[in-house]
Structure 1
Amino acid sequence: MTQHFLLSAKARTLSVVQVARMSEEEARAAFRAIRWATTDGDPVCPRCGCCAVYEYASRPIFKCKACGHQFSVTSGTIFASRKLPVRDYLLAIAIFVNAAKGMSALQLGRDLDVQYRTAYVLAHKLREAMAAENETMTLSGTVEVDGAYFGGYVRPENRKEDRVDLRLKANQSGKRRVVVVMRQRGGRTLPFVFRSEGESLPSILARVEPGSTIHADEAPSWDELHTRYETRRINHSIAFSDDGACTNQAESYFSRLRRAEWGQHHHISGRYLGFYAGGAAWREDTRRKPNGALYGLLIAAAAAHPVSRQWKGYWQRAR
């Protein structure tokens, strides 16, 4: 019997111990090599893009000869204005990518020996970097579309005679959100968060190229897709797949996100559900890559991502 990829030695190309044993100088050099890979690690001014830069001997910062801007190896990235050593950020990335179903801020804070607040913002910054390249991405070919509801849990009453039908809108909390996913077969996964599946139609029309074939279930929200695409429907009350029509890959994504909610986070706020959904999509798309490759991809994404306006100074302002 063929061994599953994740159980093989090929899936383990990075050890967290190797990253933890780095010195701060080695960590800065590793981050520098990935951030400025096009210049072989030579720093580039994040303000004007000038390559004429000299390095201070007394402290690990650079100064641009053209505009005089002083910057560090993390300036202009999602780790700008950092307080932790660069090695701790690399260690956090190594721990974060090793978690197949995601990682809670509480566990990450314990592993790094930092406050919960620090770990919470750091984890969300990494999720933001994971999903950054999906902002302008479009899908084509065969695309599966499906939706699943998350959050807004209402505790049922103790006695049976006091319980109500929680499927009715009047008995819900109003905090429940639907994650609508568009997943291209052999391609990428794009999740979006809405209040109802019907609200997702403009996003689907904008992100799925004309001429594509869409697979969806029998929910009435997807009826309008027939006017724009070749649409194949599957009735899940009868079968999961019928003559090639199915949404199994979309369901696979929802399985990962649902397990992250139940097993890791236990509660996901509707306001930040999009970040968790984007992180789960990144993990689903890269599930066949070794952890060393995931480590390099996430460092590159974090180094290329600008300063986060959502999470920089998160605890210092009214949210």
Structure 2
Amino acid sequence: MAQHFLLSSQAKTLTLAKVARMSAEEAYDTFRLIRWVKTAGEPVCPICGGVECYTFTTRKLFKCKACQKQFSVTSGTIFASRKLPIRDYLLAIAIFVNGAKGYAALQLSRDLGVAYQTAFVLSHKLREAVAAEQMVKEQLSGHVEVDGAYFGGHVRPENRKEDRKDRRRAENQTGKRRVVVVMRERQGRTMPLVFKSEAVSVPVIFNHVRHDATVYADEATHWDALHARFLTKRINHQEAYSTDEACTNQAESFFSRLRRAEIGIHHHISGKYLSAYASEMAWREDNRRISNGEQYLATTAAALNHPVSRIWKGYWQRQKSQQGI
């Protein structure tokens, strides 16, 4: 029997001990090399793109000769206005990618010795960075599987049988339940999107999948509209999960990973952040056959190439002001 990739030595090329033992200077040099890889670590102004810069000897800052602006190795990135040491960010990234089914913010806060709020925002910043890499502009092509699954909006049943209501009916729902619709190329990319229902996702699928692709879906009636645009093959799950003609097993594999993250790692995913968690799981699913060292470098590069987050910068300060605290 062949060994699973995650159990092989090829999957483990990075250890947390190696990152934790980095000196402050080694961590700083690593950030420089990953951020400015095209110039071999030489600074490039994030404001005007100038490559001629002064280097301060007393502080780790640069000054652009063209626009005269000062910047650091994290300026203009998702780590802008940082408060933690650079080594802690590298360690957080290594911990994040090692979580095959995701990583809880509470556990990350204990690992790094920081407040839960800090770990929560840092985790979401990393999700935003990898999601930007995941949501490519090119349309999906080839053989594309389409399916949807509902998450969140749990309605707790009443204790006594006579007090219980049919939780499947719309009037007994909380309004928080959302469906994740995934479009997944076979042996290719995974693109998840969040909607209130599967039916409203059809026009979006038209925009994200090439018209010459072959689409696979189940027998839900709202997927009937796919026949007007694509060569569509359907599978009736009441009869079989897979046939020679069609299956949606790759889409179901993605939902399995997301469901395990929700139940086993995070225990609860808020509807407004469901898209972030879905994009993270899509990234993990697409990169499950590369080593953790490659995942670490890819995530660090994505974070250092991603602009300042307009959602997560000052998140807790905005929450407090909205609550009048």
Normalising to structure 2: TM-score of the pair?
0.97
Secondary structure in 2 aligned to 1:246? coil
Partner of 1:190: 191
How far 1:129 moved relative to its partner? 0.5
Please give the alpha-carbon distance, in whole angstroms, between the structure 1 residues aligned to 2:223 and 2:28.
49
Q: 1:171: how far off?
A: 1.0
Q: Deviations over 1:110-150 (max 9, x none)?
A: 11100000000000000000110215242000000000000
Aligned length, in residue pairs: 319
Q: How does 1:88-237 map to 2 (within 5 A)?
A: 88-133=88-133, 134-237=135-238
CA distance in 2 between counterparts of 1:19 and 1:140 reads 39
Q: Distance in 2 between matches of 1:49 and 1:195?
A: 42
Structure 1 residue identity aligned to 2:182: V
Residues in 2 aligned to 1:28 and 1:188: alpha-carbon distance in whole angstroms: 33
Q: Gapped runs of 5+ residues in structure 2? A: none
Listed one character per residue, the Cα deviations across residues 202-257 of structure 1 (whole Å, up to 9, x for unaligned) are: 21011001110000001111110000000000011110012240000000000000
SS of 2:184's equivalent?
Answer: strand
1:159: how far off?
A: 1.4
Give, as a single letter, the amino acid of the residue that structure 2 aligns with 1:63. Answer: K
Equivalence for 1:4 = 4
Question: SS in structure 1 opposite 2:263?
Answer: helix
Matches within 5 A, 1:12-51: 12-51=12-51
Counterpart for residue 240 of structure 2: 239
Do 2:233 and 2:245's aligned partners in 1 also have CA atoms closer than 8 Å?
no
Unaligned runs of at least 5 residues, structure 1: none
Partner of 1:276, secondary structure, is helix
Question: SS at 2:50's partner residue?
Answer: coil
- What is aligned with 2:288? 287
Q: CA RMSD in A?
A: 0.9
List structure 1 runs of 4+ shifted beyond 4 angstroms. none
Q: How far is the alpha carbon of 1:177 from its aligned partner?
A: 0.3
Alpha-carbon displacement from aligned partner over 1:144-177 (angstroms, at most 9, x marks no partner): 0000000000100111222121111111111000
- 1:125 aligns to what SS in structure 2? helix
Deviations 1:258-299 (A, max 9, x none): 000001111101001000000000000000011000000000
Letter in 1 for 2:225: E
State the partner residue of 2:264: 263
Please tell me the residue identity of whatever aligns with 1:56: F
CA offsets per residue over residues 81-130 of structure 1, 9 Å max, x none? 10001100000000000000001110111111000000000000000001
C-alpha separation between the residues in 1 aligned to 2:239 and 2:16?
46
Distance 1:95 1:306 in 2: 22
